[in-house]
């Protein structure tokens, strides 16, 4: 089990998580619907990123924190033998997480609440992973500060994010147009964030990322990479 920081709240399960979503307006029924629809949507999305995830997550070992693991799509790509901890505020993801963890030979320790306040000690995890999460968190800068805080020196944050299309492109206009509706149906997701800028500001010792595109409407442009503490 993770060790709680002395002054920080520690929530060992998801039951209390509904009341721990400050600034999250999504009603309970929408969170439930989102968990189910995310599970369905990822059946189409995952094949397009599987090989990239396999490469990105290869070599991970020790204690791994996943922020916003959702329904647990990354378990299949994570090496066996790691100690996995997830920070996931939507309690309706829990049954999916438990099932996928078991299917792929991992044990899931899920902490409720948001990654803006990770209930783990400083320098206590070997790596942090996150896919399609910085689009959804209320405060990207604070999440990245927390990621950096809990990473051991030399530890890496490995990520994949969908991002804003290049300014002036048709796709950028399309993202702007659908953004308000998208935010509601995708439970707080911003389809046009620029997380590379937040990563550049977050004070990591080294940052590398590449851009790539997937054949999906709205969330087409992506970045993937690593930020080293």
Instruction: Mark residues 93-112: x for contact with ligand SAM by CB under 6 A, - for none.
Output: x-------------------
Residue 137 interacting with ligand SAM (CB under 6 A): yes
Which pairs count as long-range contacts for 205-210, CB under 8 Å and 24+ apart, including other chains?
Answer: 205/229, 209/159
Q: How far apart are CA 100 and CA 75, in angstroms?
A: 7
132 binds ligand SAM (CB under 6 A): yes
Residue spans of beta strands (DSSP E) within the chain: 63-67, 83-87, 108-111, 125-131, 151-162, 206-213, 221-228
Q: Is 129 in the site for ligand SAM (CB under 6 A)?
A: no
Tell me whether strands 221-228 and 206-213 are parallel, antiparallel or unpaired: antiparallel
Answer yes or no whether residue 90 interacts with ligand SAM by CB under 6 A. yes
| Per CB under 6 A, 42 contacts ligand SAM | yes
State which residue, 47 or 168, has the beta carbon closest to ligand SAM. 47
Q: Which is nearer to ligand SAM, 22 or 203 (CB)?
A: 22
- Rounded to a whole number of angstroms, the minimum distance from the CB of residue 88 to ligand SAM is 6
Question: According to CB under 6 A, which residues from 166 to 205 bind ligand SAM?
Answer: 189
Q: Which residues bind ligand SAM (CB under 6 A)?
A: 38, 42, 67-70, 73, 87-90, 93, 114-116, 131-133, 136-138, 189
């Amino acid at each position: 089990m993770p060790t709680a920081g002395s002054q920080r709240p520690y929530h060992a399960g998801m039951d209390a998580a509904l009341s721990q979503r400050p600034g999250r307006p999504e009603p309970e029924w929408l969170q439930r619907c989102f968990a189910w629809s995310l599970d369905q949507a990822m059946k189409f999305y995952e094949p397009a990123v599987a090989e990239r995830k396999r490469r990105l997550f290869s070599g991970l070992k020790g204690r791994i924190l996943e922020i916003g693991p959702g329904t647990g799509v990354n378990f299949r790509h994570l090496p066996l033998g790691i100690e996995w901890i997830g920070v996931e505020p939507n309690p309706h993801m829990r049954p999916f997480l438990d099932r996928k963890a078991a299917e792929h030979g991992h044990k899931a320790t899920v902490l409720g609440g948001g990654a803006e306040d990770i209930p783990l000690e400083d320098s206590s995890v070997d790596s942090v992973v996150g896919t399609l999460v910085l689009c959804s968190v209320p405060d990207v800068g604070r999440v990245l500060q927390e990621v950096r805080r809990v990473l051991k020196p030399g530890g890496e944050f490995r990520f994949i994010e969908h991002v804003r299309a290049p300014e002036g492109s048709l796709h950028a206009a399309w993202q702007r147009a659908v953004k308000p509706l998208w935010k509601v149906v995708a439970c707080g997701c911003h389809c046009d964030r620029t997380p590379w800028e937040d990563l550049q500001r977050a004070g990591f010792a080294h940052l590398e990322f590449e851009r790539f595109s997937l054949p999906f409407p709205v969330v087409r442009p992506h970045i993937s990479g690593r930020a080293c503490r």
